[in-house]
Structure 1
């Protein structure tokens, strides 16, 4: 299944074997072996290939039939604190509140990185 999906997606994306081999950092003959099923790529190569083909490693490996990679949620608190309409349990947070929260978090992280006196 891996070899067939690899070849199908490469062609769908309009890439040559040489282009994908160069991107992965392997010889064209090595990459051709992946598509024929003669060779097995490393985990790192599978990850690299899936990025280039804009799919998931799970799809290439046959663990899912959905070729679209799942969207990873962004959990960066700094970005959340820049939203205009944040609330805490339904109570709107004002810009002053958000500024205070940002400064507290920055202080917390700064204190964490300071060297500890022994």
Structure 2
């Protein structure tokens, strides 16, 4: 999935949490370059990666995908 809003939100969440590309990649099982490619929309993120990103930042997948501007997970 390549979506500019997704890429922007991943980058924003990563930087707001003071994570480097390398640190974030290690947490979700990707290389530094893979995370950079996702943030620059050069590489699509698999559903598994989208899920891991949402879990890492405790936000909803709908927020990451731009379906809502509310990052909270509805339970």
Query: TM-score scaled by structure 2?
Result: 0.86
Point out where structure 2 has 5 or more consecutive residues left out of the alignment.
none
Q: Which has the higher helix share?
A: 2
- Once the two structures are superposed, the pairs formed by residues 1-118 of structure 1 within 5 Å of their partners are 1-70=5-74, 72=75
Tell whether the 8 Å contact from 1:20 to 1:49 is kept in structure 2 after alignment: no
Structure 1 residue 51 displacement after superposition:
0.8
Using CA pairs under 8 Å that are at least 6 residues apart, name the structure with larger relative contact order, 1 or 2: 2
Structure 1 residue 68 displacement after superposition:
1.5
Query: TM-score scaled by structure 1?
Result: 0.57
Structure 1 residue 58 displacement after superposition:
0.8
The structure 1 segments of at least 4 consecutive aligned residues displaced by more than 6 Å after TM superposition are: none
Q: What secondary structure does 1:33 align onto?
A: helix
